[in-house]
Amino acid sequence: MTWLITGGAGYIGAHVVRAMTDAGERAVVYDDLSSGIAKRVPQGVPLVTGSTLDADLVARALAEHEVTGVVHLAAKKQVGESVEQPLRYYHENMEGLRVLLSAVTEAGVRSFVFSSSAAVYGMPDVDLVTEETPCLPMSPYGETKLAGEWLVRATGRAHGLSTASLRYFNVAGAASPELADTGVYNLVPMVFEKLTDGAAPRIFGADYATPDGTCVRDYIHVADLAEAHVVTARKLAATAPGTDLTLNIGRGEGVSVREMADLINDVTGYDTAAEVTARRPGDPARVVASADRAARELGWSAKRDVRDMVTSAWAGWVRLHPEAARTR
């Protein structure tokens, strides 16, 4: 099969492309390079530069490369920005998805993997979040992911498209330093940035009903996440038309913010105590996935632990910020 991977020059997308090609699948990257980096695309993998809003370009890419499956990762994804710019997020995420699905059905593509998010759940008050946990997203970003799942599922039913929506939990790490996340939007790079600047990392609230008072999250190594895409894509390709899967992609283990900050100090050689500040509005105390369905449906489970995530992410950070390196 040939897989069109939208957003394939991004942090997660580049890992998916590498995992797909390493597994012997043919890949084509489609990316507008607004946040993606062309150098992440492996040699020999075609790169189509453009937006999913460009219906003609999408249709040409599908036809010219004889695409038989799509992995759709391209989207705007910053929660805070989505609150400030809801019209932009709905336009780019939802209309871009609609345009892509329309082209996919016209081209006769039969498999579609959608990048969703744990943001669809909002603030679940449960020990483990299952795929049946009610979805109550708290941002326009989360809303577009949930509505995107609905649109993907409905299109699959109407057109015999086999679909899967993968709900990512907190993604970290890197398969190799050059593929590391260059953004500073998530906990791990945010702590790295503070340490590099000689400042104390911040913990937003230490009075939650958790073992150490700080928020607990489920972290998944980006290489494990990429491998989940490979097995999902292959499962869809081998199943009957109209198959639909909704799966959490996490480790099923919680790590607190304080534990993560301490681990980062240990891995990096720093010894900078975190500063506790006020809670951020909307932060749930605990969000940890049940990954049982993914194990059952895909035979997949995460292999890498949190230390692997931090160590590999740090190698990527130091590659871009050599001044951050410390000798013990």
One-letter amino acid for residue 298 of the chain: L
Strands 216-221 and 254-256: antiparallel
Catalytic residue among 11, 30, 141, 219: 141
In DSSP notation, 197-253 reads TT---EEE-S-SSSTTSS-EEEEEEHHHHHHHHHHHHHHHHHS-TT-EEEEEES-S-
Determine whether 121 is an active site residue.
Answer: no
In DSSP notation, 101-167 reads HHHHHHHT--EEEEEEEGGGG-S--SSSB-TTSPP---SHHHHHHHHHHHHHHHHHHHHT-EEEEEE
Instruction: Scan for tokens 């993914």, then name that residue.
Output: 294
CA dist., res. 319 & res. 296, Å (int): 38
CA atoms within 13 A of residue 277's CA, in its CB half-sphere: 9
CA dist., res. 194 & res. 277, Å (int): 15
- Residues with catalytic function: 141
